[in-house]
Chain A
Amino acid sequence: MLQETPILTKNIRSPGYDGSLEAYQKAGGHKALEKALKSMTPETVIEAVKESGLRGRGGAGFPTGMKWGFMPKNTGRPSYLVCNADEAEPGTFKDHFLINRDPHLFLEGLIIGSYAIGCHHAYVYIRGRSQAPAARLQTAIDNLYKAKLLGKAILGTGFDLDITIHRGAGAYICGEETALLESLEGKRGQPRVKPPFPATHGFNACPTSVNNVESLANVPIILNMGPDAFKKLGSTNNSGTRLVGISGHIKNPGIYEVEMGANLKSIIYDLGGGMRDGKQIKVVIPGGTSSNPLKPEEIDIAYDFDAVAKAGSMLGTCSLIVLDEDTDIVDLAYRTIVFFNHESCGQCTPCREGTFWLKNLVRDFHDNLGDQGKIDRIRRVAATMFGTSLCALGDAAAGPMKAFVEKYPEEFRKHFI
Chain B
Amino acid sequence: MVGFNDAVMKEVQGLFKRYPKKQHALLPILHLVMRENQGCVPEGWEDYVAELCETSLNHIRGVITFYDMIRKEPTGKFHIRVCTCVPCGMCGGDQIKNHIIKKLAIHPGHTTPDGLFSLEEVQCLAACDKAPLIQVNGNNPEKVTEESIDIWIQEMRQKG
Q: How large is the interface on B (under 10, 10 to 19, 20 to 34, 35 or more residues)?
A: 35 or more
Interface residue A339 (Cβ < 8 Å from any Cβ of B): yes
Q: Determine, out of B78-86, B96-104, B111-119, the stretch whose residues face the partner at the interface.
A: B78-86
Asked if A167 and B31 make an inter-chain contact with CB atoms under 8 angstroms apart, the answer reads yes
The answer to whether A332 and B140 touch across the interface, beta carbons within 8 angstroms, is: no
Contact, CB under 8 Å: A89 / B124: yes
The residue from A129, A183, A189, A246 contacting B125, defined by CB atoms under 8 A apart: A129
- Interface: A417 (CB within 8 A): no
**A74-112: contact bitstring with B at CB < 8 Å (1 yes, 0 no)?**
000000000000011111110110000000000000000
Contacts of B126 in A (CB 8 A): 87-88, 92-93, 95-96, 127, 129-130
Q: Assess whether B18 is in contact with A131, with CB atoms less than 8 Å apart.
A: no
When chains A and B are docked, how far (Å) is the Cα of A77 from the Cα of B30?
29
Looking across the interface, which residue of chain A has its beta carbon closest to that of B139?
Answer: A132
Q: State A186–B19 Cα separation when bound (angstroms).
A: 10
How many Å from the CB of B28 to the closest CB on chain A? 7
B106 within 8 A of A: no
Q: For the complex, what is the distance from the CA of A3 to the CA of B58, rounded to whole Å?
A: 55
Known: A92-B128, A129-B122, A162-B18. A188 touches B86 (CB 8 A): no
Q: A7-15, A216-224, A247-255, A380-388: which one contacts chain B? A: A247-255
Whether B149 sits at the interface, judged by CB under 8 Å, is: no
How many interface residues does A have (CB within 8 Å)?
A: 57
Whether A255 touches B129, Cβ cut-off 8 Å, given contacts A167-B31, A169-B69, is yes
Name 17 extra pairs, CB < 8 A, besides A96-B127, A185-B21: A90-B85, A96-B126, A128-B31, A164-B18, A166-B27, A169-B30, A186-B21, A188-B63, A189-B67, A245-B128, A247-B91, A248-B90, A248-B131, A253-B128, A321-B87, A323-B90, A331-B90
Q: Residues of B with Cβ closer than 8 Å to A?
A: 18-21, 23-28, 30-31, 53, 55, 59, 62-63, 66-70, 81, 84-87, 89-91, 122-131, 135, 137-140
Would you give 19 A-B contacts (Cβ < 8 Å), ordered by A? A87-B126, A91-B87, A91-B128, A127-B126, A131-B137, A132-B139, A186-B21, A186-B55, A187-B63, A188-B66, A189-B66, A204-B20, A248-B131, A255-B129, A321-B86, A331-B90, A339-B85, A339-B123, A343-B123
Question: Footprint of B on A, CB under 8 Å?
Answer: 87-93, 95-96, 121, 127-133, 135, 162, 164, 166-172, 183-189, 204, 245-249, 253-255, 285, 289, 319, 321, 323, 327, 331-332, 335-336, 339, 342-343, 345
